[in-house]
Amino acid sequence: MSALEAGTLAVALWGAGLSTFLALQRGRRRVRLVVTPVIISGNELRFLWSVRAINVRERPVEITMLGVTRSGSRIQQQQATLGEQPRVDLPVILNDGQSVEAYFPEDDPDRTDVDGAWALDTLGRLHRCRYPPRNPRARWKQWRRARRVRKLKARLEGNT
């Protein structure tokens, strides 16, 4: 086998492997989760956690459970909202771009032990996200804000 044939064979194998990898990635299901705190005002203030599962790939995904993680324990929800429908029972089939949302009541508004959210599909795959999401810039802002508060407290204590 000459060097030219060996090089051609290597390029062909690399192309075949790459195209197989991309075909498998395209066929995989993927769910993006978004966790947000919600405040509803009416006769009294209500605090909720909203968990939204969004299908971001072409293949349909059937979501069987949605939940939040609190200090290591999982809390699940059996009903959710899908588009304009106010209440649907899980499992729900999500096509490309569709989303389902579940709400979890919070009794204490100062409680911040929600670590993230999770969704389970019919294939047994667990999709997870953290709350708050990891963002170095957000951490820097939080650190700067805490530093300013410490300086302000020190200044106020020094003047009294």
The correct CATH number of 30-137 out of 2.60.40, 3.30.9, 2.40.70, 2.60.120 is 2.60.40
Model pLDDT, residue 9: 92
Question: Which whole number is the average pLDDT over 26-44?
Answer: 79
Model pLDDT, residue 41: 74
Q: From CA 55, how far away is CA 10, in angstroms rounded?
A: 37
Hey, where are the domains in the chain?
30-137
- For the CA atoms of 75, 68, 104, 138, the dihedral, rounded to the nearest 10 degrees, stands at 160
Question: Which whole number is the average pLDDT over 56-66?
Answer: 87
Model pLDDT, residue 76: 66
Sign of CA dihedral 42, 43, 46, 52: negative
Question: Which whole number is the average pLDDT over 49-69?
Answer: 88
Q: Which amino acid is at 31?
A: V
Give the strand order in the sheet containing 79-82.
31-40, 46-55, 99-106, 79-82, 85-89
Q: How many CB atoms are located within 10 Å of the residue 124 CB?
A: 7
The structure's pTM equals 0.64
Name the more confident of 109 and 130: 130
| Average pLDDT score over the chain | 80
Q: Is the pLDDT of residue 3 over 60?
A: yes
The percentage of the chain sitting over the pLDDT mark of 70, rounded to a whole number, equals 75
